[in-house]
Structure 1
Amino acid sequence: MVPPTPLRYANEIRSPDLDPAYTSPATPARRRRPRAVDQKPAAGDAVAQTPQQPDIEWIPSFKSYRDRNLRRLRNGGLKKTLPEGFPTKLESPLAWEGDELREEEYIVELSALEIEETEEALRDFKSKGISISCISRQNFVLPTLGPRLIALGATLYYGRGFFVLRGLEPQKYSSEDNVLIYVGLSSYVAEKRGRQDEHNNMLLHLIDLTSEVAPDNLRQAPYSNVQQPYHTDIGDILALYTLSQAKKGGKSKITSSWTIYNDLAESRPDHIDTLQSPDWIFDTFGRPGEPYYQRPLLFNQAGKIIFAFSRRILTGSKVSPRSKTIPPMTDAQADALDALHFTAEKHSLTLDNKRGDILFWNNMSILHAREGFTDGTSRDQKRHLLRLWLRSEEHAWETPDCLKSAWNVAYGDNDISTELWPIEPITDRDHVTTQRRSSGHG
């Protein structure tokens, strides 16, 4: 089914059958009086109503989006110009259409000699007795493949913004060797590695831990098999190493943020204005301190358009209900957030990740999502991916001011002796159910 185009005019009525952080608040949370939802009151309303959260969920409903969108279009008064300084259109290889790309344009096949070189680098590294935290281009030596990976790393910032490295056979290696190979190869793509949670875990296992670890209604998305809507993580570069695939589903979906921007800038400049507004409410889910903080979802930073958001901490989800004491989202925000999702779906590329694939992408120029999935009974039919957060100090874009605190937590000069590298999935119940972390929970 072709994803619906975001609605532009009130007469674009479509069938309902189309229904398809851990983060440190960068600025102190600003408490505000609850805001009224921006819709016109019904005739005869005489009693002030308590502002309510719009009809919006973590997994977007096209019907809710359509109904809200049409109501706002009919009410009128929507802004028809872009915010000052925002470009009319972005012209760049980073602006691509998913359905126009061919696999050979983004899949990089490793040769037998390059795989042999990688295995030799692994043996040499292990013989030195060096900590995994210290893996670098200097001690995981790839004289032939290394320069190729360095060049590919530059394309994440200046080219299309993603590629898939194919050819590894993870079933040949131990769990530890898979991690060492992954980190060693990644050090050539982007040398800086980020901390992914408050416990200093540098590696995250994306795997359905099932109800044996925690009930389905408590496990957060990285440890469940649920669909994840479009979002970004923290940091510059994301990497996913596929150790094994699900029996059904679980494919990764990516979309160019720059293509999304171009679409919305042309069709709905009011959404661009809303997305760049600094008054979005980010739920802290009861973390010590303020109950929420505020910042934009969209940044125009040094000539680069950057989206940075997770729906879960904006809308809440079934396993992370939105805090009742924080101000509601406005109708304009709900409309823009859903438009962002459905526009992403319209331009997306679905990646059929094979076992052994390593997917790298620029988190600052690409949104990502995940299909729901069903695992099989055998180990090789269970979806299991390893995630790294990376950054190239040479090529990194300028970080928006209100994201610098979170970026510093991830990439700052912390004591490497505190880094944790879980070779196997963490099965601690508190770890997989906490609502207060935002490390890629969508």
Structure 2
Amino acid sequence: MNDIRTPVGGRSAWLGSTLDYRRDGLWQLSTAELGEIDAALTTLKRGGDLDLPEITPENFALPTVGRFLTRLRDELWSGRGFVLIRGLSRERYSDDDLARIYCGLGVHLGDIIPQSGNGELLGHVLNVADLVDEPVRGYRSAQAQNMHSDGHDVVSLLCLREAKSGGASRIASAAAIHDRMIETNPELARVLYGGMPVMRSRLDAERGDGKIVTPRNVALFTKTDGVFSSCVHVAQTRDAARAGYFDITPEQEAALDLFCELSSSPEFYLDMDIAPGDIQFLNNRLIVHGRTAYQDHEDVNRRRHLMRLWVHVPSWPRRPTDQQDIYSMDDLPLWARFRTPFMEMPQRYMAKMTARQ
């Protein structure tokens, strides 16, 4: 039973204006930990040219760092919901080796899962809007991105290259926004507990369960046994209304507007400068994230480039029922059919982008 009158509180409901991520959310890898990661990569490569799904906790062994990643699961679940790992040398490793290390760390956190109907396990956050003929999603442009959630349990980014200017990662605590809403406007908070339909991309729907719009309302806020969970897709909800899949009410519009207003307030958000080699982990149930606009280089090989993982954490409870439709576990094996071996390796991916330019 949802009790919207009860604030989340605690460490999860932080205000960006009161935090310094370098003090409150940064893990600096030690020399010993970096040596362990390097040894794991060396051992992995002795096994031949393994594809990303073949990387496991057994063939990418991390006795010490693996224990840290276990603790990281707890911090993501019941702590502030975000961590930035710093220390990987951008100069020491090729892009492909960083992808291997990244997935090697990811499999110690949980299961790396497909991110779209293309089946990719490793996404590339890169401005290619001028290199492709079809419209691109926001993460494949240089535009600002409004605050939202990503798929499943954890979303992670590893920075390969920074932008010419701008492009900060912006995050906020959905729990803190929830608490402010129930304090100042509980009726609009109640609207977000009721949820709204969400429109998915046509490719994801066609290659998945076939549902372009969620069959039930997706709750932006919910609580199960007192545990808070958020699932925020304002743009896709408004897409569903514009496409005629449901009639959005003035109260629903006002509730979405208030969430956007609070999440875009400097009181709530925290901007993180993710430097080359940095890795960010976010709990999608506690954190909403976006990005500031940025200026990039003309040469695609010098552009801002981050790699992305989606991680399912089996030890966490399933998402509440009223948030499951948009990220159905049933989609994952269907999407995976469209993946081809080594398709996400950065050097291969960038060769394709260079040829298009």
Equivalent residue, structure 1, for 2:273 = 352
Matched-pair contact (CA < 8 Å) for 1:165–1:357: yes
Quote the Cα distance in structure 1 between the aligned partners of 2:61 and 2:334: 24
- Asked if 1:178 is matched to 2:98, the reply is yes
| Cα 1:153/1:281, change in 2 over 3 Å | closer
Q: In structure 2, which of residues 82, 85, 91 is the aligned counterpart of residue 162 of structure 1?
A: 82
Is 2:257 aligned against 1:341? no
The verdict on how the C-alpha distance between 1:399 and 1:271 changes in structure 2, with shifts beyond 3 A counting, is same
- Residue 197 (structure 2) aligns with: 281
For 2:41 and 2:185, the matched residues in 1 are separated by 51
Residue 241 of structure 1 is aligned with which of 140, 158, 182? 158
Partner-residue secondary structure (3-state), 2:264: helix
Contact 1:281 1:329 in 2 (8 A): no
**Alpha-carbon shift at residue 428 of structure 1 (Å):** 8.7
Give the aligned partner of residue 137 of structure 2: 220
1:304 to 205, 217, 227: 227
1:235 counterpart letter in structure 2 = H
TM-score (norm 2): 0.85
Cα distance, 1:175 vs. partner?
A: 2.5
The residue matched to 1:282 in structure 2 has which SS?
A: coil
For 2:273 and 2:63, how far apart are their aligned partners in 1? 30
**Is residue 308 of structure 2 the alignment partner of residue 387 of structure 1?**
yes
Runs of at least 5 residues in structure 2 that lack an aligned partner in the other structure: none
Partner deviation per Cα, 1:164-188 (whole Å, 9 max, x = no partner): 0001123432222111010111222
Residue 369 (1) aligns with residue 285 (2): no
Distance verdict in 2 for CA 1:380–1:211, change over 3 Å: closer
Shift of 1:158: 1.9
The answer on 1:116 being equivalent to 2:38 is no
Given the alignment, which residue of 1, 11, 15 partners 1:97? 15
Q: Distance in 1 between matches of 2:201 and 2:345?
A: 29
Larger Rg: 1
Amino acid at match of 2:228: I
> Could you tell me whether the CA contact under 8 Å between 1:302 and 1:398 is conserved in 2?
no
The letter for the 1-side match of 2:9 is: E
Give the 3 Å change call, closer, same or farther, for CA 94–163 of structure 1 in structure 2.
same
Alpha-carbon distance in 1 for matches of 2:110, 2:299 = 35
Q: Across the two proteins, how many residue pairs are aligned to each other? A: 338
Q: CA deviation at 1:418?
A: 5.3
Q: Deviations over 1:283-338 (max 9, x none)?
A: 3566666764441322222322222132221223xxxx975443332211111111
Shift of 1:350: 0.6
117, 123, 128: which one aligns with 2:47: 128
User: CA, structure 1 residues 352+109, in 2 after alignment: closer, same or farther (shift >3 Å)?
Assistant: same
Contact 2:128–2:141 (Cα < 8 Å) also in 1: yes
- Kept in 2: contact 1:253–1:368 (CA 8 A): yes
Deviation, 1:198, is 1.5
1:149 CA displacement: 2.3
Structure 2 distance, partners of 1:322, 1:101, is 36
Q: Aligned partners of 1:389 and 1:199: how far apart in 2?
A: 14
Residues 301 and 350, structure 2, Cα contact 8 Å, conserved in 1: no
How far did 1:375 drift? 0.6
Residues 348 and 400 from structure 1, CA distance in 2 versus in 1: closer, same or farther, beyond 3 angstroms?
Answer: same
Contact 1:241 1:358 in 2 (8 A): yes
1:327 is paired with a residue whose SS is coil
* Aligned-residue offset at 1:155: 1.0
Task: After superposing the two structures, state which structure 1 stretch, 377-386 or 111-120, moved more.
Answer: 377-386
CA deviation after TM superposition for structure 1 residue 379, in Å: 6.2
Identify which range, 410-419 or 257-266, moves more after superposition: 410-419
What is the deviation of 1:221?
A: 0.8
User: Is 1:85 aligned to 2:3, yes or no?
Assistant: yes
Aligned-partner residue type, residue 383 of structure 1: R
Secondary structure in structure 1 of the residue aligned to 2:133: coil
**C-alpha distance after superposition, 1:248-286 (max 9, x if no partner):** 1111111111111110010010111111124x2333566
Deviation per residue, 1:73-130 (Å, 9 max, x gap): xxxxxxxxxx962342113211111121121221111122322221111010111134
Distance 1:171 1:393, change over 3 A: same
User: Which structure shows the higher helix fraction?
Assistant: 2
- Residue 327 of structure 1 is matched in structure 2 by 246
**TM-score, normalization by structure 1:** 0.70
Q: Tell me the residue number matched to 1:423.
A: 345
Question: Which residue identity lines up with residue 118 of structure 1 in the other structure?
Answer: I
The answer on whether the counterparts of 1:209 and 1:427 sit within 8 Å (CA) in structure 2 is no
Check the 8 A contact 1:213/1:428 in 2, yes or no: no
Residues 53-72 of structure 1 mapped to structure 2, 5 A cutoff:
none
User: Which deviates more from structure 2 when the two are superposed, residues 383-392 or residues 410-419?
Assistant: 410-419
Shift of residue 227, structure 1, vs aligned partner: 0.8
Task: Classify the secondary structure of the residue corresponding to 2:245.
Answer: coil
Using the alignment, how far apart are the partners of 2:287 and 2:41 within structure 1?
Answer: 31
User: Within 2, Cα distance between the matches of 1:415 and 1:291?
Assistant: 18
Task: Give the superposed CA RMSD.
Answer: 2.8
Change (3 A) 1:285 1:400: same
CA distance in 2, matches of 1:132, 1:84: 40
Paired letter, 1:244: R
